[in-house]
């Protein structure tokens, strides 16, 4: 069986509260406290539902209510609490003295939600709608190589277009590595005059010409 109704609907007033009803409700709560909302209307002499009395007191008549627009500090606190609690407006209202859960919910839907959307933030997840740029960009190949390989493997990859470092290929790439020094260029050229004898001068023979040594 469900919970029984708090009052008889046939004998209760509906619609806007009158000034006299507000005064009766205020006077009773100031004298006896809130107590049980199911029995309060009859004790206070009101033809109202207990739920209606509770909402009227909490949202309009209690003395600690704040009036006016929400401040920027209150907006920031609501955003922070909503990111942790979600749409639990009663718990959020407990952290904002003087504000009601219904008032905070309406302020969220009409102002804060639109504000977050204009900033590119999802009001439900409190995260960027399109995701961060870092999450979308792929990792740089250089960064992957540095993370996945050691120093020796990096050097080998840098020079892989020259060939392998193993076997005889290393000598082909660095022919002077094993001798430990750079060779010097040393060329010897030997020049001799053409083997032609002058028919008029028999004293000069090819065999009598000394070879010239030219060193560079």
CA distances from 71 to 82, 160, 169, 197 (A): 16, 64, 75, 118
Q: Do 50 and 79 belong to one domain?
A: no
pLDDT band at 100; cut points 50, 70, 90: very high
Residue 189's pLDDT is: 55
Distance CA 43, CA 150 (A): 83
Is the residue at 25 inside a domain?
yes
| Residue 2 burial (C-beta neighbours within 10 Å; 0-12, 13-18, 19+) | exposed
Q: How far is CA 29 from CA 33, 61, 91, in A?
A: 4, 10, 23
On whether residue 207 sits in a domain, the answer given is no
- Cβ–Cβ < 8 Å for 107, 114: no
Task: Assign 34 a pLDDT band (cuts: 50, 70, 90).
Answer: confident
Residue range of the domain that includes 24: 9-61
Which CATH number characterizes residue 93's domain?
A: 1.10.10.60
- At 3 the pLDDT is 58
Average pLDDT, the chain: 74
Q: Which residue has 């199911």 as its token pair?
A: 38
- Shared domain for 13 and 55, answered yes or no, is yes
DSSP summary character for residue 178: T
pLDDT digits 0-9 by tens, 60-96: 999 999 988 999 999 999 999 999 999 999 999 999 9
Count of the separate structural domains present in the chain:
3
Structural domain includes residue 168: yes
Place of tokens 């010897």: 188
């Amino acid at each position: 069986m469900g919970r029984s109704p708090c009052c008889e609907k046939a004998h209760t007033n509906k619609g806007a509260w009158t000034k006299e009803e507000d005064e009766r409700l205020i006077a009773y709560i100031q004298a006896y406290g809130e107590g049980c909302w199911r029995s309060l209307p009859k004790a206070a002499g009101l033809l109202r539902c207990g739920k209606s009395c509770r909402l009227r007191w909490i949202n309009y008549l209690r003395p600690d209510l704040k009036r006016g627009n929400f401040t920027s500090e209150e907006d920031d606190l609501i955003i922070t609490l909503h990111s942790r609690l979600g749409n639990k407006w009663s718990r959020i209202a407990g952290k904002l003295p003087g504000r009601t859960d219904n008032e905070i919910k309406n302020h969220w839907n009409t102002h804060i939600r639109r504000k977050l959307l204009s900033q590119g933030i999802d009001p439900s997840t409190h995260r960027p709608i399109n995701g961060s740029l870092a999450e979308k960009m792929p990792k740089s190949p250089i960064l992957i190589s540095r993370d996945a390989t050691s120093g020796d493997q990096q050097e080998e990859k840098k020079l892989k277009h020259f060939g392998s470092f193993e076997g005889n290929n290393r000598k082909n790439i660095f022919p002077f590595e094993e001798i430990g020094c750079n060779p010097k260029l040393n060329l010897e050229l030997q020049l001799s005059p053409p083997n032609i004898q002058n028919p008029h001068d028999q004293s000069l023979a090819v065999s009598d010409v000394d070879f010239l040594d030219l060193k560079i």
